[in-house]
Chains A and B, each alone.
Chain A
């Protein structure tokens, strides 16, 4: 699989440095899971982090720190996190499965109107992650947005202006962009969409229901 729309180095660096909100981390981790080239670039960018750490200034540790750490070690490793849900899913990569708590059949879709469905994933509230289900050929409501938006295609494809985004492709939109993604014909489109702040739908009806939908 070739991914045509890859994440930029700047956002990959933010991810490597741990400086993105959880919902954006989810989008980046999922994209990297589906895109070997981005994974290779992430390895390089983390290697730069290692070199920066190696050659950074130091802050001395107080006396007794080593002994305290050895005592921590002797106490044993912290309880391991629950193992990820077993099995394989051809739609959701592992990071998304972790948030859904299962494969695509476990997603609790809510209709948003015009055949579009969504499921909000639970993350910290600086940004919102949701799965979107858009029937083939359907338009997403026309929307602009405040701040950053990342959209990762998991199934099918969508068209946005001149560009076509298919599985693994990540569209990153910065401020002040108004765009109109349309699901491509052939297959219903499933995306992971992450936004900073609420979407601003420009149609009247979606704007009215927006507060109730938490979008």
Chain B
């Protein structure tokens, strides 16, 4: 593997300020050109690849600029103070560098991967608990990701983002609260005073709709 490259010590130098900007798709709501989608998403997967193969600090700086403020916001919503959230965000981003060789673009988008790393840090930070993970599948990750799978993950992420934005207000708020925060859906019911059944059906409706979109099924 490429772990030698990754863990090799290097001088910490002033990294030029990142000038990265994500190309914004201005297509209509439902139809996104594949090329446009792939430019936006491949980029992050490619950044991770550059970190993995070349220990590329410029690629890391751009990833940091994009994701660190999101991870910090996520950790603060979960109850961390700004200082603690900043400290943990640095650790999350360092983990991203150290585990770059484990990222599988055929399985998940970079945003999803970052989310799972930040989530694990949150469990450790707030609950001071181990987090049991499912057993690895016996056949393991593919050595070379299938390009078709990589592309479909990218399209999925794009569709998903649009679908979340299009959710009815109450469902969208609940989805955000379910992922961002430190309450389970039962605790959300207790906290908001809404019946548990209402919380469940709202969350399920939202997830069904998002799943439907992810699979690219047209109504």
Contact = CB atoms under 8 A, between A and B. Distances in A.
Interface of A: 8-11, 13-14, 16-22, 25-26, 28-30, 32-33, 39, 42-62, 65-74, 76-77, 93-95, 98-99, 123-124, 148, 174
B184 A32 contact: no
Contact of A47 (B72, B112, B181): B112
Given A33-B135, A44-B211, A22 B127 contact: yes
Contact of A98 (B14, B64, B132, B200): B132
Contacts of B69: 58-61
Interface of B: 7, 9-10, 12, 14-15, 57, 60-61, 64-65, 67-74, 76, 78, 82, 85-86, 89-91, 93-95, 97-98, 107-116, 118-120, 122-123, 127-137, 156-157, 160-161, 164-165, 175-176, 178-187, 196, 199-200, 203-204, 207, 210-211, 214
B108 A25 contact: no
A135 B209 CA distance: 44
Contacts of A71: 12
Contact of A22 (B122, B130, B157, B196): B130
Contact of B119 (A16, A65, A67): A16
12 contacts: A17-B178, A19-B183, A20-B184, A22-B127, A47-B157, A49-B115, A50-B160, A52-B180, A65-B64, A66-B68, A94-B134, A124-B129
A174 B108 CA distance: 32
A46 B115 contact: yes
Given A61-B89, A66-B61, A73-B94, A51 B161 contact: yes
Q: Is the interface of B mostly helix, strand, loop or mixed?
A: helix
A53 B122 CA distance: 14
Contacts of B185: 10-11, 13-14
Nearest to A49: B115
Contacts of A59: 69, 72-73, 76, 82, 85
A17 to B, nearest CB: 5
Contacts of A56: 70, 73-74, 176, 180
Contacts of B133: 29, 95
Nearest to B72: A59
Contacts of B15: 66-67, 70
A148 B189 CA distance: 14
B111 A54 contact: yes
Contacts of B98: 73, 77
Nearest to B211: A44
Contact of A30 (B111, B116, B132): B132
B20 to A, nearest CB: 13
Given A13-B179, A14-B185, A45-B207, A26 B114 contact: no
Contacts of A48: 160, 164, 175, 179, 207, 210
Contact of A61 (B7, B72, B211): B72
Interface centre among B70, B78, B204 (most CB of A within 10 A): B70
Nearest to A32: B134
